[in-house]
Structure 1
Amino acid sequence: MNRREALKGLGLSLGYVVATPTVLSMLQSCITEEALWNPIFLSVEQGKILKTLVDLILPKTDATPGALDVNVPEFIDLYIAKTASDKKKVSFKKGLDAIMQEMGVLNKINTDVNKESCDILLAKYLRSTPEQQKAFTKKEKLVYNTLKELRDRAVWAYKTSEEIGKNVLAYDPIPGKQQGCISLEETRGKAWSL
């Protein structure tokens, strides 16, 4: 079994719940200067949209770094390039193109991505009610599913990054025995890393 198949089997089959050491090392290898990033799998324009959407989904706060600070867009691009099936790759690109078409920037080169437009798009789809989702057209369902998948991947990549795992979440590099009921004061109300 090659590395790609192992990643697909472990990372994707469980809805990317499992953070294998290989996946974690791939995430840590995504350290680039923001201006120097050239997507591996996505087009440059799709990369711009991805960065803007991910930044709006997981923005930087006073207490925590944002998704761009831990290179989530770079990881998503690399993860899909290395682990997704050809069918999944086509589907993801098609979904990003539908998002770009909805925003009116499809087939436009060197277009600055408007954060307000992206924010409106996220609100329209990710805050929609089940009744609204049933009324979506086929194209709108594609946009909705792509945004939902993008949000899930971004949160997963964010939570499994070294920076977040060690400095934001509760972290124990050498875990001891399983304790089912512990006080929240022990972790200061934080979730456990890995």
Structure 2
Amino acid sequence: MNRRDALKGLGLSLGYIIATPTILSMLQSCSTKAEKWIPIFHSDKQAFVLENLVDLILPKTKDTPGALDVNVPKFIDLYASKSFTDEDKEIYKLGLDAVMAELGISNEPLDPEQPITLKTEDFDAILSKYLRISKEQRLAYIKEEHLVFMTLLRIRDQSVWAYKTSKEIGTKVLVYDPIPGRQKGCVSVEEATGGRAWAL
């Protein structure tokens, strides 16, 4: 299946909840190991930064796939291109540029002869600086509408949302029952689902 043709077939108005599993499963079925992701909304440098941040936010473990395994950066890229308003796109791009500036990456097009040399520690440092903070610092960033903080917060929230609603996580990691049966009230999560959260 040609991924570009599949993406063209998606409507411009995507529902926030309904479209997510559909889009992610489509992206998963269309991608192969040899295929290089070509971003629709993000520049190559922005996509590089997004992939590295998302991989640290939701890394792969021995029991669960990571965000990269379920194509979360691809989904965020597709969702931004199809669902953001023009104003939202401008604000988001300004935020991404601010994150890149903080990381010391220029906004110039990617030059194959000058690859980005940032390491995992650099991306972890910016996440720690803005997301692993005290409640007081968080409130201060919100009050001043700090662009880097707001953008990283948005990326984290989108990543978690896309990850939890992906087909792989929704059906194999979380508890999934497409046709719920009887309702059990006042039972522990351990008793009801073996300690796992519900996908729906």
After superposition, the C-alpha distances for 1:159-185 in whole angstroms (9 at most, x for unaligned) are 000100111011112212433333423
Instruction: Please name the residue that 2:161 is paired with.
Output: 156
SS across alignment from 2:180: coil
Instruction: Please name the residue that 1:27 is paired with.
Output: 24
After superposition, the C-alpha distances for 1:75-120 in whole angstroms (9 at most, x for unaligned) are 0000111111011111111111101000101235231442111100
Instruction: Please name the residue that 1:60 is paired with.
Output: 60
SS across alignment from 1:30: helix
Matched, 1:114 2:119: yes
Letter in structure 2 aligned against 1:30 = L
**C-alpha distance in 2 between matches for 1:129 and 1:49:** 25
State the shift of 1:30 in Å.
1.8
**C-alpha distance in 2 between matches for 1:173 and 1:137:** 39
Instruction: Please name the residue that 1:85 is paired with.
Output: 85
Matched, 1:4 2:12: yes
Structure 1 residue corresponding to 2:175, chosen from 170, 175, 179: 170
SS across alignment from 2:56: helix
* Structure 1: gaps (5+ residues): 12-18
Structure 2 residue corresponding to 1:192, chosen from 179, 187, 198: 198
State the shift of 1:33 in Å.
3.9
Superposition TM-score, scaled by structure 2 size: 0.82
Instruction: Please name the residue that 1:105 is paired with.
Output: 105
**C-alpha distance in 2 between matches for 1:86 and 1:41:** 12
Instruction: Please name the residue that 2:74 is paired with.
Output: 74
Instruction: Please name the residue that 1:14 is paired with.
Output: none
* Structure 2: gaps (5+ residues): 1-9
Provide the aligned C-alpha RMSD in A. 2.4
Runs of 4+ that moved beyond 6 A:
137-140
**C-alpha distance in 2 between matches for 1:180 and 1:186:** 10
